[in-house]
Chains A and B, each alone.
Chain A
Amino acid sequence: MNHQPRIVVFQCQFCLYAETDQHWMDHELPANFKLVKVPCSGRISPLFVLNAFQGGADGVLISGCVPEMCHYKEGNLGARRQLDEFSRLLKYIGLEEQRIRFAWIDVNQRGRIQQELASFEKDLADLPRNERLATRTPVEQGALQ
């Protein structure tokens, strides 16, 4: 499949090393990625993930801190259970499981986020465009098209 996958990244604001990785995310992220930064991965509700797929995302990456490194102590642990179960539910109703990926990143792992995104994009390019669940009509040019 020769398409550029549309990817939404929900990223905890603390998991990346600010000077390089976060800067790259904020300024150099390719156009087919949409970044949504949250204070903590615990803020990420399954509703966000569903909303992304309904809007036409081909893949959703959720990035947060590794256990025990959460800025708010335990937020990322709560997120894991819920988001894990939600991804299982979406898989159950027929969404391909490769479309959701989690990356629990230690702030020391420089450059890891770019690797994750690159590998995710490559894997998604092998799948067709997301048609299941992409039921919400995109509104304007520039939104996920």
Chain B
Amino acid sequence: MNNVLTAIQNEARRILQEGIVDVVVGFEAGTLQLKAQPFFMHKADDVDKLVWNGFCQNNLATYLTRLDKQQRIGIICRGCDSRAVRTLVMEHQYDREKLYLIGVPCTGIVDWRAVQRQTGEDILSAEEIGDEIVIATPQKKWKFSRAEMLHDSCKRCAHPNPVGVDITIGELLPEGDPQQAFTRTREFELKSAEDRYAYFQVEAERCIRCYACREACPMCYCSECFVDYTTPRWAESMITPSGTQAWHIIRAFHQAGRCVSCGACERACPMDIKMTYLTDKLNRDMLDLYGFDVGENDDKQPPFAAFSLDDRDRFVK
């Protein structure tokens, strides 16, 4: 990791010094164990504070739609981040000419909740050492297999390698079968309709409508979100099954063909709602029905931006 970090830092410094970008978006050390903070480097000196490790849990592409579009921006991207950037560029949200993407193949994000579930909350130190995560709490030292402590989306990830980037730092990793991300949705479908709805209800019940999922998601950038509409009132702002279920269903649906399965939404949620079971189902359908793998290339039209007379005739009688 250290060589990779140094190489990332060197590249970040270079593009700042040479005036290729106005700002580089990366991470710096967090104030809590197991966390890192998104960090904006405006001058070469700032780069000294850059970190890159398994605690960097945000999808940095989400900042693209919040920054001044005239700026030239450098972003450090993993697989999912780069696919999100590519999709945003395809949706004309940013000019690719103004972006400089530093790609880094990804070994997954550590799920701090999974660690705390084992160790309790009082973590004095957390380090990634090789394949392991070493934790110290006041009572004892813990060692975990890093692979077991990864966030669920990372465990399922088929695309660790960045795409469409200007430079790749670090060794490329084996790509997986895109279908592997969706095994869980197939298992879910084996449940009865009643059980599926019960699961959906229970997950939706905890929601406090903080919209952290929306803000953490790079693909949610509407200047007016449908939840804020009053005429018509699609989703009441009350914490009720009606409003909250509508929120979950429609937000997931608006991601169909756009979601990169990064899991940033789940990591952002303060109530531990694991909503990727919805978006993964939609992504699976996009792959199975339309052969579309989000962020795969720059040309393919997302399924809902196109249509064809050849579309399945399932219901045209």
Binding site for B on A (CB under 8 A): 46-47, 50-51, 54, 66-68, 74, 77-78, 80-82, 84-86, 88-96, 102-104, 132-133, 135-137
Contacts and interface: CB of A to CB of B under 8 A. Distances in A.
Nearest to B309: A67
Nearest to A132: B197
B248 to A, nearest CB: 9
B200 interface: yes
Interface stretch (B90-98, B159-167, B250-258): B250-258
B72 to A, nearest CB: 36
Given A67-B309, A86-B253, A89-B281, A94 B246 contact: no
Contacts of B200: 93-94
A77 B307 CA distance: 6
Contact of B232 (A51, A68, A102, A137): A51
Given A74-B307, A95-B193, A85 B285 contact: yes
A104 B316 CA distance: 6
B197 A102 contact: no
Given A84-B315, A104-B317, A89 B309 contact: no
* 6 closest residue pairs by CB, A with B: A94-B197, A77-B307, A135-B242, A94-B196, A135-B241, A136-B242
Contact of A78 (B249, B282, B289, B307): B307
A104 B315 contact: yes
Interface string B189-219: 1000111111110000000000000000000
A94 B194 contact: yes
B253 A89 contact: yes
Nearest to A93: B200
Contacts of A92: 185, 188-189, 196, 278, 281
A133 B245 contact: yes
Interface of B: 185, 188-189, 193-200, 226, 232, 234, 236, 240-242, 245-246, 249-250, 252-253, 256, 278, 281-282, 285, 289, 303-304, 307-309, 311-312, 314-317
Main secondary structure of the interface of B (DSSP, over half): helix
B285 A93 contact: no
Given A47-B226, A54-B242, A94-B196, A85 B256 contact: yes
13 contacts: A47-B250, A50-B249, A50-B250, A51-B234, A54-B246, A78-B307, A81-B304, A89-B282, A92-B189, A94-B193, A94-B194, A95-B193, A136-B236
Contact of A84 (B185, B226, B232, B314): B314
B286 to A, nearest CB: 8
Contacts of A77: 307-309, 311
A76 B7 CA distance: 52
A95 B197 contact: yes
Given A51-B234, A78-B304, 7 more contacts: A50-B249, A54-B245, A80-B307, A81-B307, A84-B315, A94-B200, A135-B240
B73 to A, nearest CB: 32
**A51, A68, A94, most chain B CB atoms within 10 A:** A94
B316 A88 contact: no
A128 to B, nearest CB: 11
Contacts of B241: 135
B226 A94 contact: no
A78 B315 CA distance: 14
A64 to B, nearest CB: 10
B309 A68 contact: yes
Contact of A93 (B256, B278, B308, B312): B278
